[in-house]
Amino acid sequence: MINKFDYYLKNGKVRRKTPDPIEAKSLFIKSKERLEYIKKEINETTAKFVLEDTYDTIRESTQSLMSLSGFKPYSHEATISFLKEFYKDNFSEEEIIKFDRFRELRNNSVYKAIEISVSDAESCLCFATMFINKIKNLIDKLENPTKEETKR
């Protein structure tokens, strides 16, 4: 279950920090490069690695947005909670649920050696491509606000 973002702040799973555009850019570029790297053949042998790495692209891109906003996560759940709380107008509840589902699949694969299906790996890859484009658009808006957005 994903708690409210304040829970993660109070419990040290996220810390406030100075917004860091350089770190944010670096994390985002890393997530895009990782995604391009893993767009290889997906089969029963590689599915677990594809899903694990693809999930990391989703997490890293979210972490880049957090860095730009002045937060450092120490929990995967905290990254999801951050989006849910601060970007609920940009990410649907269904997208948040998918992000969390891929987190759970990744954890089961990494820590319990549970097999990942080819369809789950492909679904994660498709989701990550869409997701990272959304994050890029949000970062672009934060770095280059329109005159209308600066008035708010």
- Model confidence, pTM: 0.87
pLDDT for the residue numbered 41: 80
56-75 pLDDT per residue, tens: 999 999 999 999 999 999 99
Question: Once rounded to an integer, what is the mean pLDDT over residues 109-137?
Answer: 96
- Domain extents for the chain? 5-12+21-140
> Long-range contacts made by residues 5-10, C-beta under 8 angstroms, separation at least 24?
5/78, 5/81, 5/82, 5/84, 5/85, 5/86, 7/81, 8/73, 8/75, 8/77, 8/78, 8/81, 8/82
Question: What DSSP character marks residue 144?
Answer: S
Nearest residue to 2 (alpha-carbon basis) of 78, 65, 55, 58: 78
Question: Once rounded to an integer, what is the mean pLDDT over residues 85-112?
Answer: 97
CATH architecture of 5-12+21-140: Up-down Bundle (1.20)
